[in-house]
Structure 1
Amino acid sequence: MSENGTQTVRTGGIRLSYRSWGAEVGVPVVLLHCLGEDGEDWRGPLISGLAGRHPVHALDLRGHGESDWPGSYALDDFVGDLRGFLDELGIDKAIVVGHSFGSVVAYLFAQEHPERVERLVLEETGAMRPLQPPQEVPEPPPGIPAFDWEVKVQWARQRNDPDPRWWDRLGAITAPTLLLGGGDGSHLPQQDLHLMAERMPDARVLTIDGAGHLVHEARPMEFTKAVLDFLAED
């Protein structure tokens, strides 16, 4: 364990850093952060609420935090990392919670490995359809970034011209799914959450209006209650 409280695993030649809290029994919960953050972003009421009933693991995605910055950031790389992470920890099936970029990784993983996802929570997720107009591929800011800027560059390209299977295979997600939107103040089209839910076999949308894109930060107690209520359902 590092001085920052993180542990590491190696999978596919990549070192991944993560933080763990909570019970030793129960279905494990894996938390996936948004672009530019790391696993520390989840610390707060959600961790406290989950940790009494679940082992909780907050991963630093590749190119972020204390995980390796390998320069290759195809979404399939992130999906493979998550699979390898679960394998290394001996987790056959997990509850996966993702925010924004992390939520896209979460649902692409759920498409590829539906048998390994118990439940899925997607906070302010993105519909992977071609953007019109496309995003500009961003130039790096001055100074040393807190994450590998190449992640953002490659994400913009994939967001502009996504693989059609990412949209077409939403129906392959078998886990009960909660799509959480921030309503007013979010830069994402909120109708996309409903369009995605319609394509999934067992999905619903909950809007915490006025929370914007950072729902778990802007409205932590409401976000936590929504997640815990969803996980407690039969």
Structure 2
Amino acid sequence: MRVLNRSNPTGDLALGVRVSGHDGQRPPVLLVHGMAGDHTTWRAFASALRRVGRQVISVDLRGHGRSGHAPTYLLDDFRDDLEFVLDELDIDVTDIVAHSLGAHTVLRLAMAIPDRVRRLVLEEVPPMPRDQGHVDEGIVVAASLGERVRGVGAAVRNPWPLIRFDRRVGAEVGRQFETPDPDWWARLDVVAASTLVISGGRRSFLPPRHLRTLCETLPAARFVEIDAGHSVHRDKPAEFAAAAGEFVQSS
């Protein structure tokens, strides 16, 4: 695990990054976890990518894993951290697979630097609320009972992500989803990456219809629904690997 130090007005921020494998012919695959996770959530999928010859870069978001706690957790902070990682590693173009908060972050990244993202897999990505009705659903911060139970099981097997997680992240991120942001939707048309949107189906607290709408709004996207709940890659790894792996491997 490497640590990259990003200078900020409030002090340096350590960002944990794991780089493995090598493929000089194709872009590396950047993996970005969801809230309260870390790079270890991708172990199985990263191994599968390496077996087919891909270089893999797994990042811990600020406030998670081996990365430092930070004074702010703005959605654009997470985005800017990832752009810093790409710059520090001299990566011009990348494929990205990301989950939940990480998926929202990389979508912002693809909006900011569209020429540097080739393929994009968005697993259970929470869109910004389009209007007050969307805000009132509370879909970002209210997980189902089943998802909470499955999350406890994962934490028992690997408690370190939860131990290292800065609890302030959840509250600060949640507040940013409490204001309608129709401009965010209007800017989606700048995304140049071919995109796969993966929904966890009705077992997830993110209604599939919202992810379908997001998919239809993006310029070059398709939609897959896997009935697994919010953490598809964790609870149905084979189905996830088949869909996401085939997508990033296609030319």
TM over 0.5: yes
Report if the CA contact (8 A) 1:137-1:157 is conserved: no
Match of 1:23 in 2: 22
SS of 2:66's partner is coil
Paired residue for 1:157?
175
Q: Does 1:10 align with 2:40?
A: no
Give the CA deviation at 1:71.
2.2
State whether residues 22 and 54 of structure 2, in contact with CA within 8 Å, keep that contact through their aligned partners in structure 1.
yes
| Secondary structure, counterpart of 1:174 in structure 2 | coil
* Percentage of matched positions with identical amino acids: 38
Deviation at 1:55, TM superposition (A): 1.0
- Structure 2: how far apart are the matches of 1:28 and 1:135? 32
2:94 matched residue in structure 1: 94
Residue type of the partner of 2:35?
A: L
Equivalences for residues 46-195 of structure 1 within 5 A = 46-51=45-50, 52-129=52-129, 130-134=134-138, 145-161=163-179, 163-195=181-213
Distance 2:219 2:185 in 1: 14
1:212 aligns with 2:211: no
1:150: Cα distance to partner? 1.0
Query: How far did 1:152 drift?
Result: 0.6
Could you report, residue by residue, the CA deviation over 1:176-201 in whole angstroms, capped at 9, with x for unpaired residues? 00001111311101011110111111
Alpha-carbon distance, 1:170 to partner: 1.2
2:153 is aligned to none
Q: How does 1:30-49 map to 2 (within 5 A)?
A: 30-44=30-44, 46-49=45-48
Alignment of 1:233 with 2:250, yes or no, is yes
Q: In the TM superposition, what whole-angstrom CA distance separates every residue of 1:107-160 from its partner, at most 9, and x where no partner exists?
A: 01101110110100000111111511447989xxxxx95311111111110111
CA contact (8 A) 1:71 1:150 kept: no
1:224 aligns with 2:244: no
CA shift in 2, pair 1:136/1:100, >3 Å: closer
One-letter code aligned to 1:8:
V
CA RMSD, Structure 1 to Structure 2 (Å): 1.9
Kindly tell me: are residues 85 and 183 of structure 1, through their superposed partners in 2, closer, same or farther at Cα, counting changes over 3 Å? Answer: same
Amino acid corresponding to residue 18 of structure 2 in structure 1: R
- Residue type of the partner of 2:119? R
| CA displacement at 1:24 relative to structure 2 | 4.2
- Alpha-carbon distance between aligned partners in 1 of 2:221 and 2:140, rounded to the nearest angstrom: 32
Runs of 5+ unmatched residues, structure 2: 143-161
Residue in structure 2 matched with residue 203 of structure 1 by the alignment:
221
Alignment partner, residue 3 of structure 1: none
| Matching residue's letter, 1:60 | D
Letter in 1 for 2:20: W
The 4+ residue runs of structure 1 with deviation greater than 4 A are 133-138
